[in-house]
Amino acid sequence: MSAPTVALLIVAGVVIATIVFGSVAVRRLDMNPEQYIVGGRSFGALFLWVLLAGEIYTSFTFLGAAGWAYGRGAPAFYILCYGAVAYGISYFLAPLIWKVGKDHGLLTAPDFFADRYRSKALGVIVAVVGFVFLIPYVTLQLTGLQILLTIAGYGTVDARLAVGIAFLAVTLFVFASGLRGTAWVSIVKDALVLGAVIFAGIALPIRFFGSPAAVVSRVLDSHPHWFTLAAGAAPYGELWFVTTVILTALGFYMWPQSFGAIYSAKSADALRRNAIFLPFYQLMLLLVYFAGFTALLLVPGLKSSAADQSFMLVIQRYYSPAVLGLIAAAGCLAALVPVTGQLIAAASLITKNVMSDVFGASRSERARTAQTRGIVVLVAALALLFWLFRPPSLVELLLLGYNGVTQFFPGVVFALTTWRASAWGVGGGICAGIATLVALQLSGHPSDFHGVNPGLIALGVNVGICFFVSACARGRRPAEGAATAA
């Protein structure tokens, strides 16, 4: 058999085996919306850990982190930092969100807003914004898949067809098994990715340079400034680093699929323990950096987006097709597993917060599960189309997406504190924040604010508008506020 056949057969075998495993694991479940969308709120600390790790660490985390280590150096460390900071925030925030979800039977992120602020209109705003920013994220996973399959096929096969087939299989899997299926396949994904990352981050440096520390010394010899940030307000400098870590840490749990994962917990305690132990998963990223640094020494000269392929190219060049197939299979699962969680989250936004809440479509549980499943297929088709005709600046779209979902943060925090914002304030703040982001993006100089992350500026506008509008609303209708507070 030729090299591409061996590698691609291994990828196909692993993906199919994983899907079969996930389907068998959930086959006897009776699917109501609560079971389908949030796993029946029954996940303990360990299962939750696997699900969250499965959803958070995507193919883009791995390819992107290696790519940044290869192409930029120290700025890549921000990924290591924001995860750790985000888990600290989630230790306090996630149990509170979970409790509201449990007490009021919430299924989606917009449900949280609609319930806390007693406004279905606000729920619709959050649903639409969340949906708009989620689609590029799904699309990004398809791009990761395309990179992996192209390399596994040694450039001889049409990767787009392969991506289409893989995506179709995953959509059918999501259709059948819901969020619990995502958690089960995450187990396989995490195990394989761990193996792949240990190989790429430890075995690779040892084979070529003796030890990971030797890689650092070699990179320092050729690139003396690779492990430090540029001073102050320079592009990708210290100020950029600090503001980006803060912004992304705040936005970390604001993705619609993160709310689904939080609701799926069995108890608040499971979430707290989860926040304590998730940082250890971050260690994998450290190994990914080493893979990126090794690639920098072995295959230098890749520019911009080609840097994302760097360590896969090393494996393709120096290892057997079987090894390449296994590593690529791990990467493909890292793309496909998060997609399952994202599809469920995106579909539930539409069925629950738009179709059911606004148009009052079917009230029976069975019908709503069926609707969610139907919408899963529609969302998948939409993402596939978006990917085929994608705009050129996809990475910018994702950064915009992160900045976008972070605009939910003030609304979530105000809903959990004693200071009460109004629905108009929160909705207006979200809209103003996103308008600011779009304006900064269109101005063509989104990073021209002395290195400050534009999302943080938008967040400032958001909070300002929220305070202002809430205070105005309070002044107009004091009696109602007093009645609610009593």
Partner 1 sequence: MRAAPFRERRFHGGGRSIRCMKALRVALALIPPIMLTFAIPFVNRVEPRLLGLPFLLAWIIVWMLIGPAFYWAIYRLERRA
Q: Please say which residue, 30 or 103, places its beta carbon nearer to partner 1.
A: 103
Nearest Cα to Cα of residue 398 among 441, 355, 367, 369: 441
Q: Which of residues 229-258 bind partner 1 (CB under 8 A)?
A: 229, 231, 238, 241-242, 245-246, 249
Q: Give the residue, chosen from 17, 24, 92, 158, that forms a contact with partner 1 under the rule CB under 8 A.
A: 92
How far is C-alpha 63 from the chain's CA centre?
14
Q: Please say which residue, 277 or 358, places its beta carbon nearer to partner 1.
A: 277
Handedness of CA 136, 141, 144, 150 (dihedral sign): negative
Binding mask 421-460 for partner 1 (x = CB under 8 A): xxx-------------------------------------
44 scored as a contact of partner 1 (CB under 8 A): no
Question: Could you count the other beta carbons within 10 Å of the beta carbon of residue 231?
Answer: 9
Q: How far is the CB of 241 from partner 1 (least distance, A)?
A: 6
323's enclosing H/E stretch is: helix 321-348
- 18 with 333: CB under 8 angstroms? yes
Q: Please say which residue, 442 or 483, places its beta carbon nearer to partner 1.
A: 483
Q: Please say which residue, 403 or 422, places its beta carbon nearer to partner 1.
A: 422
Angle of helix 238-251 relative to helix 394-406, nearest 10 degrees? Answer: 60
Q: How far is the CB of 174 from partner 1 (least distance, A)?
A: 32
277 scored as a contact of partner 1 (CB under 8 A): yes
208 scored as a contact of partner 1 (CB under 8 A): no
Provide the residue type at 51 as one letter.
L
User: Which range of residues in 10-18, 95-103, 164-172, 342-350 is near partner 1 by CB under 8 A?
Assistant: 95-103
313 scored as a contact of partner 1 (CB under 8 A): no
- Nearest-Å Rg of the Cα atoms of the chain is 22
Residues 316 and 55: their CA atoms lie apart, in Å, by: 27
**Distances from the Cα of 315 to the Cα of 118, 291, 292, 328, 421, angstroms:** 54, 10, 12, 10, 53
Nearest Cα to Cα of residue 373 among 170, 135, 175: 175
Strands (E) located in 251-367: none
81 scored as a contact of partner 1 (CB under 8 A): yes
Nearest Cα to Cα of residue 276 among 412, 100, 99, 92: 92
74 scored as a contact of partner 1 (CB under 8 A): yes
206 scored as a contact of partner 1 (CB under 8 A): no
User: Which range of residues in 17-25, 213-221, 306-314, 328-336 is near partner 1 by CB under 8 A?
Assistant: 213-221
Residues of the shown chain interacting with partner 1 in the complex, contacts defined by CB under 8 A? 74, 77, 80-81, 84-85, 87-89, 91-92, 96, 99-100, 116-119, 211-214, 216-217, 220, 227-229, 231, 238, 241-242, 245-246, 249, 272-273, 275-277, 279-280, 282-283, 286, 289, 414-418, 420-423, 480-481, 484-485
